[in-house]
A and B are shown apart, each in its own frame.
Chain A
């Protein structure tokens, strides 16, 4: 008979292998992180952190900038808006990026006066999955009622009334939302709060909220929501504009405040932004715009910098003013982002000029 000690010992080799394996994995990931964060051999290295929404646009734009100005590189870490604000407030990075401007509390906690500059635009399309239904018209109120859980079936009279001649199936609506805190959720819930008093009082506006619909499902990331909608007949969900195009999804035509039926496209999102050139960090919401061609679920993404940066102020100013100017914004379209309208570009440049350099 084996003694208990023998039996115990039999575990050891395997445990050791597991430990060695995980150590090896740690070393490897450390090396990768080091390789990514170590500065390249360049004269000036600017660092930024924050919103993952901005990441594809920033990668492209900063790459182009570096091609033109080889002595300046920008290292942007896509760690989420909350993390970006934290890193920026600790002065660990030269600039932060966030989908929702820093609020009063965050501004007082920051160690200096903060300038908040809009850098890019995004819109949330309402994607759906109904076999055989290729066009779907929804009013803002009906969309809000779906997300509130008041409308539960696709053949509900309120939906049928808007889609005459469409054969709507007797199918439950599966409401899909982002499970991770996100700027897209913020814009979408901001929109719902604007169009529905019920939503405003029961749920509210935020990056993460308590979703009331009984058949709601949370999916991680835009790709998660897109995947969930695509694989679930009867599902509806909000996804960033670019995803709908890239993934061949069908999206709802939404009736805007002016009564027009609009799809989520770069033009309709830009129209929403252009209707409010006086945008600022305290008055930034462009959802439910009254302009005729405006898509109602649109919003800005922001860069935050200190009015008096401790270091590299000149380079930082140059990069950012290029980014919000026509040349920087020209990179947005190639990665399916919406360039800032001309009047907003000018406003952003004016804010940026307050920076001491």
Chain B
């Protein structure tokens, strides 16, 4: 892969101006992307500068969010954002990968195709619809059925203790899991389907069952691609706004219980930006956006590092 670039350029120089034009377009496209990211970052820093100057690093570690007295801190929102996304990715990765294995290797054609279509359809449902469903269906179900059941079994851990309001971290995480499930499933299915038949046949020839082949041969071979799917999905979970806002309870507080209300970075911005009037308030909200940007970047970098460590010296 490393030496493909120079070769391509040398050929293009001598042979075809069309190739050169195409290369220029491709380069321009990727540079535009880079500029967009840099521009976004610069804009966020400029917008949040008054808040950065006023609150300093304490902004990240403070837990108070009081627009009246202009005391702002982002810690509960950082916690809420990371926790809901973690819950979502754990649930969605498990269900999504299992579904992908089924769709790629086990499902008969007449079942697999309509199922794939339905899963991709889920990706097209607007997030406000997920949110309303969460508010009117999932959160009462959580309060009356799922929550008490979890508490009955796992109530001895702090994670499942405390009053069950229906809205909260866990409900937010479940809604997010549903929303990122199509991404995880569809990409993982494509990755698994692209694993060469030879591998499967070799494994079967050695006497593995279909199940063993899927778990011990196909999934390990597809792990990097599946990991990529999860990273893409996690990115969406971190930034998702409306659906989470409707079911998270919107309370800037850190609690050990998954049933407790919480708050995410994106939710605060969506809730308060339109009615924020003082300039330090607006600046603090923009700094939340900057933090969300940085959190997403750190998560992506960590994921990249994990892929590298899995693949050893091969760089993706």
- CB within 8 Å of B: which residues of A? 1-2, 4-8, 10-11, 13-14, 21, 79-83, 85, 103, 105-106, 172, 174, 179-182, 203-211, 215-220, 224, 227-228, 231-232
Contact = CB atoms under 8 A, between A and B. Distances in A.
Given A2-B195, A210-B64, A224 B275 contact: no
A70 to B, nearest CB: 33
B67 interface: yes
A211 B253 CA distance: 11
B194 A2 contact: yes
Interface in B243-259: 245-246, 249-252
Nearest to A205: B68
Given A220-B245, A228-B135, 20 more contacts: A1-B196, A4-B311, A5-B1, A7-B194, A10-B225, A13-B190, A83-B274, A85-B277, A174-B165, A180-B274, A181-B276, A182-B275, A203-B68, A206-B67, A210-B252, A217-B167, A217-B249, A218-B263, A218-B271, A228-B167
A181 B69 CA distance: 15
Interface string B214-238: 0000000100110010000000000
B250 A218 contact: yes
Interface in B4-44: none
B69 A11 contact: no
Contacts of B135: 219, 224, 227-228, 231
Given A179-B250, A181-B276, A217-B250, A232 B165 contact: yes
A217 B262 CA distance: 9
Contact of A218 (B195, B221, B251, B276): B251
Contact of A179 (B163, B221, B245, B316): B245
Chain B CB within 10 A, most for which of A6, A79, A180: A180
Interface in B132-167: 135-136, 139-140, 143, 163, 165-167
24 contacts: A2-B194, A2-B221, A4-B316, A13-B190, A21-B124, A82-B273, A82-B276, A106-B277, A204-B68, A205-B68, A208-B275, A208-B276, A209-B67, A210-B65, A217-B165, A217-B250, A220-B242, A220-B246, A224-B135, A227-B135, A228-B167, A231-B136, A231-B139, A231-B143
Report, nearest first, the 5 A-B pairs whose CB atoms are least far apart: A181-B275, A218-B250, A80-B274, A179-B250, A210-B66
Nearest to A235: B165
A217 B249 CA distance: 5
A19 B245 CA distance: 26
Contacts of B274: 79-83, 180-181
B271 A220 contact: yes
Contacts of B68: 203-206, 209-210
B267 interface: yes
A341 to B, nearest CB: 27
A180 B251 contact: no
Nearest to B190: A14
Interface in B188-219: 190-191, 194-196
A216 B273 CA distance: 21
Contacts of B275: 80-82, 180-182, 207-208
B142 to A, nearest CB: 10
Nearest to B246: A220
Contact of B271 (A5, A83, A208): A208
B51 to A, nearest CB: 16
A10 B194 contact: yes
B187 interface: yes
A6 B191 CA distance: 11
A227 B136 contact: yes
Nearest to A207: B275
Contacts of A210: 64-68, 252
Interface in B96-149: 124, 135-136, 139-140, 143
A268 B36 CA distance: 54
A204 B69 contact: yes
B159 to A, nearest CB: 19
B264 to A, nearest CB: 11
Interface in B283-316: 311, 314, 316
B15 to A, nearest CB: 23
A232 B249 CA distance: 12
Given A4-B1, A180-B271, A181-B271, A215 B163 contact: yes
A219 B277 CA distance: 21
B172 interface: no
Contacts of B175: none
Contact of A231 (B140, B195, B261): B140
A8 B143 CA distance: 44
A21 B123 CA distance: 11
B22 to A, nearest CB: 16
Contact of B272 (A4, A208, A228, A231): A208
A156 to B, nearest CB: 17
Contacts of A21: 124
B186 interface: yes
Nearest to A13: B190
Contacts of B194: 2, 6-7, 10
Contacts of B273: 82
Contacts of B224: 4, 7
